[in-house]
Amino acid sequence: MNDVLNIRNVSKSFGDKFAVKNVSLDVEGDQIFGLLGPNGAGKTTLIRMIMGIYLPDSGTISIFRKNLSQVVDGELGYLPEERGLYPKMKCIDILSFFLELNGNSHKKAKKKALEGLEKVGLKNWAEKKVEELSKGMQQKIQLLAALNHNPKLAILDEPFSGLDPVNVELFKEIIKEARNNGTTVVLSSHQMELVEQMCQKIALINKGEIVLYGEVGEIRRNYGSKEVRIEFGSSIPELDYDYYAENLKKEAGSLTLSLKKDISHKLLIEKIWEKGGEIVKFEVENSSLHDIFVKVVKGEERVNEN
């Protein structure tokens, strides 16, 4: 296996409050991994432990099967949730500074910094001080500081928060490009659509614990509802619908139902055709990660209340 990040039974508490409780997860290479969870779920604490800023109370975190202290300069990239740059430094200088911290020579750092600025359309701002930039521009610089040195693993904490739609697209492109260039990305977000579009694998954290974990497609299959809406051109054909589905709702010319497990869409459509039914529209209500997220988090709360 191409192990990039392995977290085993990691816990961390502040005072008597658990921030992260017995979390285990694996991130494989060359993918974008999504860390989801409501605010205060413990995402940032987990990320800070991955970056070695906090030490876990128990459990182990290994990166490239190594201890964090053995990780070489420049193998990691980081976009912290709390954005921050030296306000009085020039954009070009601050980027080369971080490139140098990550093992580049001064000359190479300067060149790469300029390339990065060009990529995000800030070439003309290279000699300007960070404090003169707008918030969106500062965030671009911050993203560059995380990805510009081509790290093997980049941890991006809420990379899309506070961005306008145009810049969200730009950030998506940059992050995907980094993945294509061999950077494994772990990003946290609570913008589900974005995670759904970008990530292959996710972990949903709630109250410090992992409540959902796995491939995005698999999660959808297991947790999403299988609601189907069928519109007919003719009358609704006679069929033992209850055998295939439940929650049946008949309306004039349309049918809404949830397929039972093991029953595929294809099977239902074939059965309807056999009975001479004319299907005008067959709509699978694919429940989004958002719905799953809400369902799981709310379900948890209900369980806890009981």
Partner 1 sequence: MKIKRLNAVIKREFKERVMKKSFLIFTLLTPLLFGALMIVPSLLWMVKSEKINKIVVFDRTGFMVKELIDQQQKDDERNAEKGDPGSPIEYIRPIEKTEIKNYIDQVGNEKGEIDGVLEIKSEENGEITSTFYGKNISNIKLVSTLEKKLNSLLLNYLLKKNNISEKVAEELKQKVEIKAVKVEKGGKTKESSFLKEYLKTFFVSMLLYMLIIGYGQTLMRGVMEEKSSRVVELLLSSLKPSELLLGKVLGIASVGLLQYIIWIVCGAILFLFNPLNFTSTLDKGYIKPEEISLFLVFFVLGFFFYASVFAAMGSICSTDQEVQQLTLPIVLILIFPVLILGMILQNPNALWIVVLSLIPLFSPTLMMTRISIMSVPLWQTISSIVILALGVVFMAWLGGKIYRTGILMTGKRPTIFEIIRWLKAE
Binding-site ranges for partner 1 (CB under 8 A): 48, 51-54, 73, 76, 78, 80, 82-89, 93, 97-98, 100-103, 142, 145
User: Distance (Å, rounded) from C-alpha 133 to C-alpha 126?
Assistant: 11
Minimal distance, residue 283 CB to partner 1, in Å: 46
Shorter beta-carbon distance to partner 1: residue 49 or 163? 49
Work out the number of other CB atoms within 10 angstroms of the CB of residue 141: 24
Using the 8-state DSSP alphabet, how is residue 87 labeled?
Answer: T
Torsional sign, CA 220, 33, 58, 297: negative
Q: Are 277 and 237 in contact (CB under 8 A)?
A: yes
Shorter beta-carbon distance to partner 1: residue 87 or 121? 87
Shorter beta-carbon distance to partner 1: residue 88 or 249? 88
Minimal distance, residue 162 CB to partner 1, in Å: 14
Minimal distance, residue 81 CB to partner 1, in Å: 8
User: Distance (Å, rounded) from C-alpha 261 to C-alpha 263?
Assistant: 5
Minimal distance, residue 37 CB to partner 1, in Å: 19
Token pair for residue 159?
């990379």
* Residue 55 CB-density burial (10 A; 0-12 exposed, 13-18 middle, 19+ buried): exposed
Shorter beta-carbon distance to partner 1: residue 96 or 206? 96
Shorter beta-carbon distance to partner 1: residue 87 or 182? 87
User: Distance (Å, rounded) from C-alpha 41 to C-alpha 207?
Assistant: 5
Minimal distance, residue 214 CB to partner 1, in Å: 28
**Continuous segment of H or E residues that includes residue 266:** helix 265-274
